[in-house]
Amino acid sequence: MPLSAPAPRKHLHTRRYEFCGYEREDGLWDIEGRITDTKTYGFANEFRGEIKPGEPIHDMSVRLTLDDELTVAAIEVSSDAGPYRICPDIVPDFQVMKGERIKPGWHRRVKELLGGVKGCTHIVEMMGSMGTVAYQTMYWRRKRSAGEKSPPPINTCHAFAADSEVVKRFYPQFYRGQ
């Protein structure tokens, strides 16, 4: 069901996320994310001069290279547009993610290592979602290769609640309902 009709309003800001997952020929995986923020109006910026309507205020990208265990083998970050000259200076600090593993608590771990003044709030926010994109990208191949050894994502959302009809139908061995 779509959202209801909105009250009269004026569009001012757009934030776009784009995520793509890739299986590499060398057996690794690339998960890429990009965030862009634009305004519908122009405004002055001390660092960049005038930012025109539709021109990105933020344009930042991340590539996580993962192994089959969801461990970060490499990370590349770019900050192509930001409101301040110093925004790109934090990019090298994201290398701290090498060796980290996407697993429950991924969002918390990203914030622990790169939250606040240790990172860029926009990139950190985006990286949290990249964990989900990695699971979606790798799910079917990982499931096939692991067989029944790989448990489903029980209790990770409403549909996968241990007592849900989805778990009862597709994963009866993990069903905990009546």
User: Taking the domains of the chain in order of start, what are their residue ranges?
Assistant: 13-149
Tokens of 60: 């930042």
In sequence order, what are the beta bridge partners of 13?
39
For 103-155, the pLDDT digits (tens) are 989 999 999 999 999 999 999 999 999 999 999 999 877 555 555 455 667 88
Q: Taking a C-beta distance cutoff of 8 angstroms, is the pair 96, 113 a contact?
A: yes
Tokens 């965030």, located at residue: 35
Tokens 């910026």, located at residue: 45
Strand extents, DSSP E, 24-118: 29-39, 43-45, 49-51, 58-66, 72-81
Task: Dump the DSSP string for 139-170.
Answer: HHHHHHHHGGGS---TTSSSTT-TTSHHHHHH
Q: Residue 158: which pLDDT band, with cuts at 50, 70 and 90?
A: confident
Query: Helices 106-114 and 121-146, interaxial angle, to 10°?
Result: 140
Q: Given this model, what pLDDT does residue 20 score? A: 98
Percent with pLDDT over 90 in the chain: 78
Q: How many CB atoms lie within 10 A of CB 129?
A: 16
Q: Taking a C-beta distance cutoff of 8 angstroms, is the pair 170, 163 a contact?
A: no
For 72-85, the pLDDT digits (tens) are 999 999 999 999 99
CA distance 4 to 7: 9
Residue 46 pLDDT greater than 90, yes or no? yes
pLDDT averaged over every residue in the chain: 92
Length of the chain, please?
A: 178
